Structure 1
């Protein structure tokens, strides 16, 4: 088994951490600022930690495109030689063993009327939620019916990824290399124009449309192709990593200033920054660091964390409100325990799905 790349896992760990904190922040409305922590904590830092879950998903998209394209090249030699049966089988074995039981639990909670999991009567149905999740049209379903229950809502990004990977290997086989690169480049550069095609008033579809998310995946694929041809020196890789970190931190911490002075370039900065870090880490994998081992582990468990964390988040929010009602003073104390609980849940889930996958394959 190929050794994990600590740098890529750190980036993935940061992204899933931002997603978890964001989803915990939303039910508390203004979770950190009105709490006791907000009296002395820097507002910009608290906002950056609390409200960048959506942006973190786009970092995931870039990482996904980079890793998938890299693996195709490593296994098959080049994208044009991708073996469809093996590719689709690998995606199914990676996605379905955890997705299926998670959907079963979601459906059970919804049927029992658990808040945060049960759809609004007349708006959505359990059958509709399940069918759209399994057909990777969940974001389309939300666009037609409105926001899904919070426990289900994370499934929109999975639909975008898997819809992309249904068609991507076919493009690799059908299009000449230069034309494929041209299509991917045009798609990547069109990220913002594609978002602007949807009226901002249609908030659900504006956030969760297929093509902008796929454009971020295209950025990752292009970075993987560049990494095959360009091998930066260690010094160049360090500079790339620093540049990438700056590009990511700017929209996360100073998104308002970026928007004011650099127009609507936030998502481009996120994609470019993610690509730069991925190229640097791929060329010269950093050595694991003891103080960042937990973050790398979160990156390695990012899929399990992503699908399961809302069970912990919604349970914690319900418990907090049962004890303290709408008081905001002490909301900050739940963040570290929630992240730790999500982490503790993801590990056994990963081992269980690995065991089930191995049994099913034999």
Structure 2
């Protein structure tokens, strides 16, 4: 969620953008659904409960899809720049990550701090053992997930930063590990072990529900899965169309099972269902890369735009969710008509993300990279990480 150095790399991958769009949409639907569940609206008379629940309650799983995509894109772009992960330029790598992450993060933390100090409902940190200074340190120090695991949930706009903590801690250590190992026969088994550890690391934390969901190792296992995908694509830059389509169908089936048959998977596999999720995401990513040039079904441009704005929407969507719910309640809160509020809420989430991307993240990223990395500004317009 970085600019690239050749024509092929500079083209955004449509399939990956669609997958990111679906993931961020599920996250937003989840946070709306926790407050206005679709299964409690009049839509239950028209659509099956399983469909409405799938739309509302797969936000956590969607974040793990993001982890896989992030690992794939960042490792893939590093491979294209350096030819090998053992040749990563540490300074440039960290400069790119800071340029992409920091501007929006700093702005969000500043806005949330002002809202807390103003005593704004939904934004005040008032749980015992928590404080604004400590939340700021946790957010900027990439351990907000740990902080919540130890003290409880923070207000929603702070809470979304748990996944960023996992992602950025991984990328702080990842290039150093690559430079220290130097050989793929050392690095790859480490990544495989980490990727396959997901069910066990997730299950081992069952004593603390918040920490189980937000601990470092399960999320890093999903990111490692994406890194392995980038190494696979480097090794096999193309496969037959049949293999690519088979991977796509396998990934789609896996995603369907997780979203619609989650209870069945849990009964049969317990925490192993998370491995089905990351494997399915990887299959879809690989299929997207190996079927580049295939024209997607028309009418999905809106979902691609959600994918392109996924980072900005992720950081800002709770402002819209809280505002929508408060207006909904002020106007009577008829839950049977709650589904009608989803359309304006989704539109406003996209619009806010678009405005932040246009006026904050992209200009700031261009400015920072031009000074620290020397990346031409024209190339930054197509950044894919």
Q: Which TM-score band applies after superposition, normalised by the shorter structure?
A: over 0.9
Question: Mapping of 1:146-165 within 5 angstroms?
Answer: 146-165=152-171
Distance 1:356 1:189 in 2: 37
Out of 128, 148, 163, the residue aligned to residue 122 of structure 1 is 128
Identify the residue that residue 257 of structure 1 maps to in structure 2.
264
Identify the residue that residue 23 of structure 2 maps to in structure 1.
15
TM-score by length of 2: 0.90
Distance 2:343 2:204 in 1: 39
The answer on 1:314 being equivalent to 2:322 is yes
| Structure 1: stretches of 5+ with no match in the other structure | none
Partner deviation per Cα, 1:275-299 (whole Å, 9 max, x = no partner): 1111111122233543110101100
Distance 1:41 1:203 in 2: 31
Residues 115-124 or 243-252, more deviating: 115-124
Identify the residue that residue 352 of structure 2 maps to in structure 1.
345
Partner deviation per Cα, 1:285-342 (whole Å, 9 max, x = no partner): 23354311010110011000100100001110111111114x3211111112111111
Residues 143-152 or 208-217, more deviating: 143-152
Partner deviation per Cα, 1:142-178 (whole Å, 9 max, x = no partner): 1111111112110000000000000000111111211
Is the CA contact 2:160–2:314 (under 8 Å) kept in the aligned structure 1? Answer: yes
The answer on 1:133 being equivalent to 2:139 is yes
Question: Mapping of 1:1-362 within 5 angstroms?
Answer: 2-28=10-36, 31-175=37-181, 176-198=183-205, 200-230=206-236, 231-285=238-292, 286-325=294-333, 327-352=334-359, 353-360=361-368, 361=370
The residue matched to 1:27 in structure 2 has which SS?
Answer: coil
Deviation of 1:113 (Å): 1.7
Deviation of 1:272 (Å): 0.7
TM-score by length of 1: 0.96
Runs of 4+ in 1 over 6 A off after TM superposition: none
Is the CA contact 1:33–1:39 (under 8 Å) kept in the aligned structure 2? Answer: no
Is the CA contact 1:35–1:329 (under 8 Å) kept in the aligned structure 2? Answer: yes
Is the CA contact 2:200–2:271 (under 8 Å) kept in the aligned structure 1? Answer: no
Please give the root-mean-square deviation of Cα atoms over the aligned residues, in Å: 1.4
Is the CA contact 2:203–2:271 (under 8 Å) kept in the aligned structure 1? Answer: no
Number of aligned positions between the proteins: 358
Distance 1:115 1:245 in 2: 40
